[in-house]
Chain A
Amino acid sequence: MGTDFVVLSLVPITIGILVCVSCALLGNFLVLRRQSLIGDAVSHVVLPGIVGAFIFTGTVAAGAMLLGAGIAAVLAVLLIEVVRRVGRVEPGAAMGVVFTTLFAAGVLLLEQSDTSSVHLDVEHALYGNLESLIWLAGGAGWPALLDPGALAALPPQLPRLALVTLAVVVFLLVFWKELVIGTFDATFAESVGARPGPVGFALIVMVAVAAVAAFDAVGSIIVIAMFICPPAAARLMTDRLVPQLGWSVAFAVVSAIAGYVLAGYGPLWLGAAYSVSAAGMIATVAGLILALACLAGPRRFGTRTAARRRRPSPGRASHHQSSISNSLQV
């Protein structure tokens, strides 16, 4: 746990945690609003965005890529709305039409354009390369964290993701009231002037920002997993929103660390001489946490009363029956 750790693992783990936390925080609202799959759609649309940006600018500069992906994500969200409203298509199907079409366009553009000279491929957009984000300047070990020169050589993804995580936290704090009212009762939100429409759209834009910032470090698929798995697992732990956010952040951090460690060292423990995809393993760990929550989470059946109804003990069952027969006699 010395120099090697600082050089090879510190930055990927930190980036993994930042990605997982920012996505999980926003994901809580997506899951509650039954918009979980918006994250799925937005992450697929990143591909045509970056290919378009490459064709437009001819470079693979991070700024252009991020801008292209962001524009594509917002465009996709607008298109989904158009298809849903104009075509009177149900939301899930509208989403399916739009994101598959845009993804197909991205694949075709990629094949058609000459990207052989640059590192731009579908696999990279889908599952990224977390392990490659090493910090060579951290060769001095832990003291390098205090050395401005070494800090300046950090992979640019790290400060970018830190900024995005901060932006997500600020967004949640500033629009907390509007988000919460709009999530649980959109009609009431409208009536008290909390403007659920614009706030909901802002939420989707933040989702797009988080997804786009994350994809080039960790790929799209882990982003989808982080939008959904930790918040869904947290939803099975508690009935209250703030604790749910806390649980989801905890699950996200555990997934990021455990996933990275298992991917890097798990195969070695099993005697193999290679490591496996960290992004994939982080998603897998998040899925295992969700599975555990589904099996044993205290609120997996709903609120406390609903849970009691779903799990009748023998005595309670007979009591339930007698109450039915009572009501029948009445």
Chain B
Amino acid sequence: MTAFLTALALGAGYNTALVTIGAAILGGSAGAIGAFVLLRKRSLVSDAVSHGTLPGLALAFILMALLTGDGRNIVALMAGAALSAALGLFCVEWITRRTRLTEDAAIGAVLSVFFGFGIVLLTVIQSLQTGGQAGIAGYLLGSTAGMLRSEAETIAVAALATGAAIFVLRRPFTLVCFDEGYAATRGIDVRLTDLAMMGVLLAVTVIGLKVAGLVLIVALTIIPPVTARFWTDRPERMVLIAAAFGAAAGYVGAAISASDRGLPTGAVIVLTAAAFFALSLVLSPVRGLMSGLATRLRFRRRVHERQGLLALARGEAIYDPLTIKVLRRAGHIRADGVATLEGRAAAAAAVREEALWGLYRRLHPDEAAALDHQGLAPIAKALPPDVVADLAARLDPAGAGAR
């Protein structure tokens, strides 16, 4: 625990601190670009991108091993990974655009074939008998344990650069996510913007390979944005919140991972992000489980109160225990079930409300169907005053005539 707190306070050595900060910046960038990609409904494209890096990684390793004797050159590996991921991305685009296959099939095909070919190349590397083979295995699941200072610095700086790119491009990204046509009329090249979005996604993926590993990096671009979606309906805020969740997951996860052995960085970061997601799923004020439950209970209470009051007005006996409980809590009936004075007044008001709503539904069926509270809200608050006055005027002469 103390080791964790030390790492959290960046006190566990320069390298660990650098990795922790780098993971936080990476998580932030991944969350931000992931938010745009989620809004564009293309989250799983990042899965194809991350798996697509493997052949390039392996080829770069082989090339560097043949040229210099050691394949572990992070810049060369990143360049190779980026090139093959770009090829994978191009294949996804090309298959989706040029053939009848849908994007999910294209993504699945590209990710599995590229990964399979990458594994073929990995077995070639195993037979090469050069040094540093463990270095390439670290890219599968991510490892920051033996990371060099220069590697950590490269990752931190590159992640910061992608963050800056996202900041610069945020307006066109947002417009394209929400309304392609409008974006086009504003003079934004939709294809170019999409390309830039995928380019940034690719960059984040490649930078994150060493930290999270190519199987898990995709989580950093999906989980924080989905988490952020629980907390807001506004795109700018969603991007910021996703970046914050991503950065927090990267920071806390890297610190936990540094505090003990047997805590692989990528897995811990992803599980931290997943914990934020689970909490948001339960606690979110708008879309969460708890608020959904509360809304449901409130709605049920209002239905029972309304129906109970109508029954009181008609002088009918009430048997439903929940209705009795709700009415008694509100002071509409006494413990023995007899209506109080307030209860009778409320019952009369409920009858009138119901009649007004009924008239409104008859006169304006379409507008009434569009309301989402099914006439349980007080009509004077739900509708404009002139409409209510008109309804009341129509209701009263009719009532007088009947009498």
Binding site for B on A (CB under 8 A): 31, 34-37, 39-40, 44, 83, 86-90, 92-97, 100-101, 103-105, 107-108, 111-112, 122-123, 126-127, 221-222, 224-225, 227-229, 232, 235-236, 263, 267, 272-277, 279-284, 286-287, 290, 294, 297, 299-302, 306
27 sample A-B contacts, Cβ–Cβ < 8 Å, listed by A number: A34-B104, A37-B44, A37-B108, A39-B108, A83-B281, A87-B230, A90-B41, A93-B222, A93-B225, A96-B222, A97-B222, A100-B215, A101-B271, A101-B274, A104-B216, A107-B267, A108-B263, A111-B262, A221-B115, A224-B112, A274-B124, A276-B123, A277-B119, A279-B119, A280-B119, A284-B116, A297-B99
Taking each of A89, A227, A300, which has the highest tally of chain B beta carbons within 10 Å of its own beta carbon? A89
Per-residue contact bits, chain B 206-220, to A (CB 8 Å; 1 contact, 0 not): 000000000110110
How far is B40's CA from A273's CA once the two chains are assembled, in angstroms?
48
Is the CB–CB distance between A123 and B140 below 8 Å? yes
* Interface check B87, CB cutoff 8 A: no
Is the CB–CB distance between A101 and B120 below 8 Å? no
Whole-angstrom distance between the Cβ of B272 and the nearest chain A Cβ: 9
Q: A34-B104, A222-B116 are in contact. Are A277 and B109 (CB under 8 A)?
A: no
Chain A contact surface mostly = helix
What residues on A are CB-neighbors of B119 within 8 Å?
A: 126-127, 221, 277, 279-280, 283
Is the CB–CB distance between A287 and B113 below 8 Å? yes
What residues on A are CB-neighbors of B111 within 8 Å?
A: 40, 224
Is the CB–CB distance between B109 and A96 below 8 Å? no
Binding site for A on B (CB under 8 A): 38, 41-44, 46-47, 94-95, 98-102, 104-105, 107-109, 111-120, 122-124, 127, 137, 140-141, 215-216, 218-219, 222-223, 225-226, 229-230, 262-264, 266-268, 270-271, 274, 277, 281, 287, 289, 292
What residues on A are CB-neighbors of B277 within 8 Å?
A: 97, 101
Is the CB–CB distance between A274 and B215 below 8 Å? no
Whole-angstrom distance between the Cβ of B126 and the nearest chain A Cβ: 8
Is the CB–CB distance between A229 and B113 below 8 Å? yes
How far is B101's CA from A227's CA once the two chains are assembled, in angstroms?
14
Is the CB–CB distance between B98 and A294 below 8 Å? yes
Chain B: which residue is nearest A228 at the CB level?
B108
How far is B229's CA from A123's CA once the two chains are assembled, in angstroms?
34
What residues on B are CB-neighbors of A232 within 8 Å?
A: 101, 105, 109
Whole-angstrom distance between the Cβ of B92 and the nearest chain A Cβ: 12
What residues on A are CB-neighbors of B43 within 8 Å?
A: 90, 92-93, 96
Q: A39-B108, A111-B264, A294-B95 are in contact. Are A97 and B116 (CB under 8 A)?
A: no
Is the CB–CB distance between A40 and B108 below 8 Å? yes
Chain B contact surface mostly = helix
Q: A87-B281, A100-B219, A279-B119 are in contact. Are A300 and B99 (CB under 8 A)?
A: yes
How far is B141's CA from A268's CA once the two chains are assembled, in angstroms?
31
What residues on A are CB-neighbors of B230 within 8 Å?
A: 87
Q: A93-B222, A107-B267 are in contact. Are A290 and B113 (CB under 8 A)?
A: yes
How far is B225's CA from A104's CA once the two chains are assembled, in angstroms?
18
What residues on B are CB-neighbors of A93 within 8 Å?
A: 38, 43-44, 222, 225-226
How far is B116's CA from A122's CA once the two chains are assembled, in angstroms?
15
Is the CB–CB distance between B120 and A221 below 8 Å? no
Chain A: which residue is nearest B94 at the CB level?
A294
What residues on A are CB-neighbors of B267 within 8 Å?
A: 104-105, 107-108, 111
How far is B46's CA from A231's CA once the two chains are assembled, in angstroms?
23
